[in-house]
Amino acid sequence: MSTEPAAAEDPGAAAAEQAESPGPEEAAPDAGTAPDATEPASDPSESDGDGETTAEGEAEGEGKSKADGDGDSAELSETEAEIAAQRELRERIEQRKASKQGPIDAGTKLSGTAADLLAAVRAVESGEKPVASAFQEPEPARRPAPSRAPEPVRPQQPAAAQAPAEEAVEAVRGVLAEGGAPPALAEQTAAVLGDGADGQLRADPWQLLRVTGVRPEQADGFARALLGAECGPDDERRGRAITVWLLEQAAVAGHTALDATTLHAALGQRAVPEPDAAVQSALAEGDALVFQDALEGTEVPVQRTDDGGAPDDSEGAEGADEEPERPVRVLIGLERYALAEESLADGLARVINSLSKDEDSGPADADWEAAAAQASGSAAELIRAVAGHGLVLHSGGEEARAEPAALVAAATALGLRVCAAAHSADGRRRLARATGADEAAVTVAGLLSGEQGPGRDAEGALALDLLVVLDAPQLDVETAAMLVESLPDGARLVLGGDPGVLWSAGPGRVFADLLSARCCPQVVSRTPDPGPIGELTSGIGIGELNQVEAPGKEVVLVPVRDPAEAIHRTVQLVADSVPRAIGVPAEQTQVITPGHGGAAGTRALNAALKERLNPGPGRFGGFDPDDRVAYVPAAGRTTLGRVVRADAEGLHLECDGAPVVVPKERVERQVRHAWALTAHQATGRRWPAAVVVLPGDAAEALSRPWVYTAFSRAERHLSVVQGVEQALPRAVAERLWKDRTTRLQTLLRPQVPAATV
């Protein structure tokens, strides 16, 4: 590792803004303007270094409620029993809402068992069906094993979201003006709250918290302006709204639910005087759901008599029949993510259990073995695992992608319908190069939308026998649920990726949960990434930051003393040093830094890089033709491209080879410059050269997954602009993943048999 000297300047500030997380700025840049604030910021009360909410603590709450009914409850699955147990609570919800609106419109994007159960709950609540008939399990109506459809069905593309009517926007703008909120929020507020948004705001000003970027203190000011003396911190509407807001912030940080004690503590920090009452109000209104999951690794406590002995069965049948309660953790979550996680667990169980054992339904065992014999090492192991199992996990670095590619080639040769999906367009190109089959390589988003891949069969399932998904750590629970529910019965699923990289921008830790659950075979690649960069990242993966030999300047360390010097040296590296010494032009070099804010965040770096590489007046929202940009149409979906032109329609971009037009009113929220990215934005992509910037005020944002992800984005050359000194090796050695609270392992446990790994 070579080192270059650096000059000195005053140290930078704003360390808190450096912390990177898949949060509001990560999901949608500069999303929304809030009252009395120019930019949303992460909240330290419920998040730490990288913005992820801590979800540790002792479980508390009432004992698990029992579902009403007769003998049918014994036949319910764990998920069904849990939903049925909330029936009485939901009846109270509907009684309170009956005078205002109909049933809660949620879960409409889900399918499968989770959607069926939700429909059953609502049928009971409305009186259409008695409990016994609503929750009686019918004979499963499964789709037949996949067959070759000569003409795959392409789903119609969903229509673009309709903008709210101008009259509705004007009405909301008037209410916002009364409360002192920025008029710019009117369109977004009308879209979020729907019909009668102005009336909803007058009745409950804290509904403004549902708008992206608005914070509790800003909603409090808005409520005080509208309600006057009626407004107080103990208002039930305030407690309910802040409860939902905290759960949404937790989802931004990756959690699908929050421990009840953690949620109560966060509410207390937000000056909610009675946190438990606020949570109960949110549950009663149907804004959140409660779950009680048995704690892993705990045993049912043995009941003892007063003299220390075990109870005598002869003392009475009632005492003998009672079972001691198993310790549980009480979790609170939003319905959207709870149902997605349940749907994902149900779909994975179906994939695991529905693989046909009939040799007439696909290639014979001998054919699979012959295909494995033509491969070697981990690739052969992967082919053998897929031959006998519906779900297989594969882990490894960049070079290990050759093993799923070998599987794709082998399965295609066996006559199976195969598709391989990657996280990004760049990942798709690398996958197509590895497999040698462009038509089989797609992106996950393109596959689900129907723009890429084989299309769907007459039943609406993907016309596939085998789906291989790489970059699986980037799957959030909603995307994973849609993928799994789209598979026909009998199809195989392989999830592969590098377990050392950062997790998904959306809620959940699907790949990590499946690795921990050990519910299916896991193939760990023995193929290391080559060269000095591969050696460096391999060490980081096990907690060691080693010096590596880099005779061709594959890895260069550039020490700096302050953020100003870091920006200067970064621009110099991208524009001069790397093109001259390494032969990689500036347009193929990517800058990666821990956060958007701060003295050397993406904003500051992009401003400096634009001035050097593509100067211009920025006539259209700060952008000029040929600017490198990141386009974020929805939370967690970032595509990279360049500006083509601007006109009355909006900003014209070319993203991953496709034209995109961003309307003028959305440019500020959805587009930012992209010479410099965060590690989360860079995940799933690689560049010939990468410059990783670590200014001194970013030390607290660093962790092993962040460093591993950032350093492994480089193919030929890596420059590290380093101002954190010993904080870097400490982060690699000591700071692991910040855990996320999820329920996937708990939901999977009763649905799948113990797997031989």
Looking at residue 382, its amino acid is L
- pLDDT tens per residue across span 174-207: 999 999 999 889 888 998 898 899 999 999 999 9
Residue-level length of the chain = 757
The whole-number pLDDT of residue 498 equals 94
Residue 47 clears pLDDT 90, i.e. is over it: no
CA angle 414, 420, 424 (to 5 degrees): 165
Q: Are 680 and 502 in contact (CB under 8 A)?
A: yes
The whole-number pLDDT of residue 165 equals 84
Residue 672 clears pLDDT 60, i.e. is over it: yes
- pLDDT tens per residue across span 330-374: 999 999 999 999 999 999 999 999 887 766 667 888 999 999 999
Segment 490-498 shows an average pLDDT of 95
Between 614 and 317, the higher pLDDT residue: 614
The whole-number pLDDT of residue 162 equals 63
Which residues, in sequence order, are bridge partners of residue 395? 497, 524
Euclidean distance between CA atoms 522 and 548, whole angstroms: 31
The whole-number pLDDT of residue 311 equals 53
The whole-number pLDDT of residue 753 equals 62
Segment 522-535 shows an average pLDDT of 92
Q: Are 724 and 697 in contact (CB under 8 A)?
A: no
Euclidean distance between CA atoms 244 and 477, whole angstroms: 19
Segment 663-676 shows an average pLDDT of 91
Model confidence, pTM: 0.76
Model confidence at 87, pLDDT cuts 50, 70, 90, reads: low
| CB crowding 522-543: b at 16 or more within 10 Å, else e | bbebebebeebbbbbbbbbbee
Residue 432, CB half-sphere, CA atoms under 13 Å: how many? Answer: 14
Which of 94-98, 637-641, 669-673, 718-722 comes out lowest in average pLDDT?
94-98
Both structure tokens of 592: 């990666």
Which of 42-46, 434-438, 722-726 comes out lowest in average pLDDT?
42-46
The whole-number pLDDT of residue 590 equals 97
- pLDDT tens per residue across span 604-648: 999 999 999 999 998 888 999 999 999 988 766 789 999 999 998
Euclidean distance between CA atoms 532 and 554, whole angstroms: 6
Q: Which residue has the tokens 């596959």?
A: 447
Q: Are 703 and 735 in contact (CB under 8 A)?
A: yes
The whole-number pLDDT of residue 296 equals 64
Residue 323 clears pLDDT 50, i.e. is over it: yes
- Which one, of 458, 743, 254, 476, lies nearest residue 484 by Cα? 476
Residue 492 clears pLDDT 80, i.e. is over it: yes
- pLDDT tens per residue across span 461-486: 999 999 999 999 999 999 999 999 99
Q: Report the chain's terminal Cα–Cα distance, integer Å.
A: 39
CA 406 to mean position of chain CA atoms: 29
The whole-number pLDDT of residue 497 equals 94
pLDDT cut 70: percent of the chain above it: 73
pLDDT cut 90: percent of the chain above it: 54
The whole-number pLDDT of residue 692 equals 97
The whole-number pLDDT of residue 58 equals 34
Largest separation between any pair of C-alpha atoms in the chain: 89
- pLDDT tens per residue across span 247-273: 999 999 999 999 999 999 999 999 999
Q: Under 8 Å CB-to-CB from 716, ≥6 apart: which residues? A: 533, 554, 582, 584, 688, 689
- Which one, of 254, 251, 253, 279, lies nearest residue 264 by Cα? 279
Residue 85 clears pLDDT 90, i.e. is over it: no
Euclidean distance between CA atoms 644 and 651, whole angstroms: 8
Q: Which residue has the tokens 């080559």?
A: 530
Model confidence at 63, pLDDT cuts 50, 70, 90, reads: very low
The whole-number pLDDT of residue 660 equals 92
CA 688 to mean position of chain CA atoms: 27
| SS3 state at 744 | helix
Other beta carbons less than 10 A from residue 292's beta carbon: 18
Residue 27 clears pLDDT 80, i.e. is over it: no
Segment 402-416 shows an average pLDDT of 94
Both structure tokens of 645: 């032109």
CA angle 631, 634, 639 (to 5 degrees): 30
Q: Are 288 and 334 in contact (CB under 8 A)?
A: yes
Euclidean distance between CA atoms 400 and 147, whole angstroms: 31
Looking at residue 434, its amino acid is A
What DSSP character marks residue 528?
Answer: P
Model confidence at 312, pLDDT cuts 50, 70, 90, reads: low
Q: Which residue has the tokens 């259409």?
A: 128
| SS3 state at 684 | coil
The whole-number pLDDT of residue 7 equals 38
Both structure tokens of 416: 């199976």
E strands, 452-539, in order: 466-469, 492-497, 522-524
| CB crowding 310-346: b at 16 or more within 10 Å, else e | eeeeeeeeeeeeeeeeeebbbbbbbebbbbbbbbbbb
Segment 596-608 shows an average pLDDT of 92
Q: Are 222 and 35 in contact (CB under 8 A)?
A: yes
| SS3 state at 139 | coil
Sign of the four-CA dihedral 143, 412, 476, 354? positive
| SS3 state at 611 | helix
What DSSP character marks residue 469?
Answer: E
Please state whether 691 falls in left (phi above 0), alpha (psi between -120 and 50) or beta.
beta
- Which one, of 547, 557, 551, 550, lies nearest residue 532 by Cα? 550
- Which one, of 501, 496, 554, 494, lies nearest residue 527 by Cα? 496
Q: Are 200 and 208 in contact (CB under 8 A)?
A: no
- Which one, of 353, 710, 346, lies nearest residue 555 by Cα? 710
- Which one, of 487, 535, 183, lies nearest residue 354 by Cα? 487
Residue 313 clears pLDDT 60, i.e. is over it: no
The whole-number pLDDT of residue 146 equals 40
Model confidence at 98, pLDDT cuts 50, 70, 90, reads: low
Which of 12-16, 442-446, 606-610, 645-649 comes out lowest in average pLDDT?
12-16
DSSP letters for 377-443: HHHHHHHHHHHH-SEEEEE--SGGGHHHHHHHHHHHHTT--EEEEESSHHHHHHHHHHHS-GGGEEE
Which of 240-254, 311-325, 666-680 comes out lowest in average pLDDT?
311-325
Model confidence at 690, pLDDT cuts 50, 70, 90, reads: very high
Residue 61 clears pLDDT 60, i.e. is over it: no
* Mean of per-residue pLDDT scores for the chain: 79
Both structure tokens of 180: 């002192």
The whole-number pLDDT of residue 91 equals 58
Both structure tokens of 200: 């909803």
Residue 414 clears pLDDT 60, i.e. is over it: yes
- pLDDT tens per residue across span 199-236: 999 999 999 999 988 999 999 999 999 998 888 889 99
